[in-house]
Amino acid sequence: MPETHRHVRILADLANLASESISLARYLDTAAIQVARSVGIAHVKILRYRAETADLLIEGGFGWKEGTVGSVSLPSDLSSPPGLTYQTALPLAVSDCSEAKGLVLADVLKEHGIVALCNVPILIDGAAWGVLEVDSAEPRVFDEEEIDFMRAAAAVIGMVVRRDADLRRERDSAAEVLARAQTRDVLLREMQHRVKNNFQMILASVALQQRRLPGSEVQRALDHVANRISAISLAHDQLAPRDDQHVVDLAGYIRALAASIEQQSDGVAIEVVADEVELPIDRAVPLGLIVNEAATNSVKHAFGKKGGRITVKLTAGIGYGEARLTIADNGSGFDGTKQTKGSGLKLMSSLAQQAGADFARESGALGTTISVTFPVVG
């Protein structure tokens, strides 16, 4: 059968399967098999982004070792191939991963001998839900026809995922509660999709500039920009309506942010101990950026080759209606002769002011601690 006809036939099969009453998990696994048949590659996976851990979970797949699907996750940062596709909502084809600068293969791909891959985003309402990826154990050039087929398959998968999410909401919510909350949830969802689209366009632009401007200083500056944009994007992932205002679960936001930073940091473990605190998004974002800045500085400057540990602690009930956020590392600290008024410190102090918080830093032989005390109400 000619390749185009095979693609069309399999897309029709995917659409017909979507009309049947089967579970989402079974549909995703079957869709992976059909995609494998169409492109002639033995490894296919469908990844779902998890806001709570800032990673991409393999939800469906074909050709992987037992226990991989449903339990193994991949990083969602810009150095991860599926992460780059998710963050920018752009397709990515790599014919030989050994020659792809700036991209890091996950362990699960190395274990299966993957050397080439192609990713397309799975979109819902224009924003990325996850990624459809095919992986080859041999160098492989992916042509436009194959990429177009994968885009079409991802569109069908996105339609099924959206329908499943709608059905789950209908089943899990009482009719009266759903009726009261529906307008608010729809408006929030629309806003989150639009904001997510904006972040993806900005990150796509940054990634494009990184490829065009290879200088190390420029790369570092653009990495800083991308990390801060990602930190703000994570806050919007945690956004929820409460009492006619949009608030962020600060503990969940910090956990997701820490997980994202840890994924990009070799030899550095980040531990989060957090009480439950909710804040309006305009006050939560500055605090998240402080965590991002402090942890990133520790990763880059506090540790040697042996790595280290960063502890992020969010404590409620401090003083009169206040909470405290601390970011502490067990690195080398500052000896008093180093510059202590750099741009990073000034940025964190400015962000603390935006959140109505008191900012402090201590540094010594046992490491550096950033402390931010802020009002929870008002």
Question: What pLDDT shows up at residue 19?
Answer: 78
Fold match between 3-170 and 173-375? no
Model confidence pLDDT, tens digit, residues 252-261: 999 998 998 8
pLDDT of residue 114 exceeding 50, the answer is: yes
- Looking at residue 264, its pLDDT comes to 82
Is residue 93 a contact partner of residue 147, using CB atoms and an 8 Å limit?
Answer: yes
pLDDT at 123: 95
pLDDT of residue 336: 47
Q: Which residue has the higher pLDDT, 205 or 22?
A: 22
Say how many Å lie between the first and final Cα of the chain, rounded: 67
Q: Where are the domains of the chain?
A: 3-170, 173-375
The C-alpha angle 316, 320, 323, rounded to 5 degrees, equals 25
Q: Which residues partner with 247 through β-bridges?
A: 240, 280
* 166: pLDDT strictly greater than 80: yes
Tell me the range of 55-64, 99-108, 163-172, 281-290 where mean pLDDT is highest: 55-64
Structural fold of domain 3-170: Beta-Lactamase (3.30.450)
- Tell me which CATH homologous superfamily contains domain 173-375: Histidine kinase-like ATPase, C-terminal domain (3.30.565.10)
Mean pLDDT over the full length of the chain: 85
Q: What is the mean pLDDT of residues 145-162?
A: 94
Q: Between 343 and 163, where is the model more confident?
A: 163
In this model, does residue 147 exceed pLDDT 80?
Answer: yes
pLDDT over threshold 60, residue 228: yes
Q: How do residues 280-308 score in pLDDT, each as one tens digit?
A: 888 888 998 999 999 988 888 888 778 89
Count of residues in the chain: 378
pLDDT for the residue numbered 244: 52
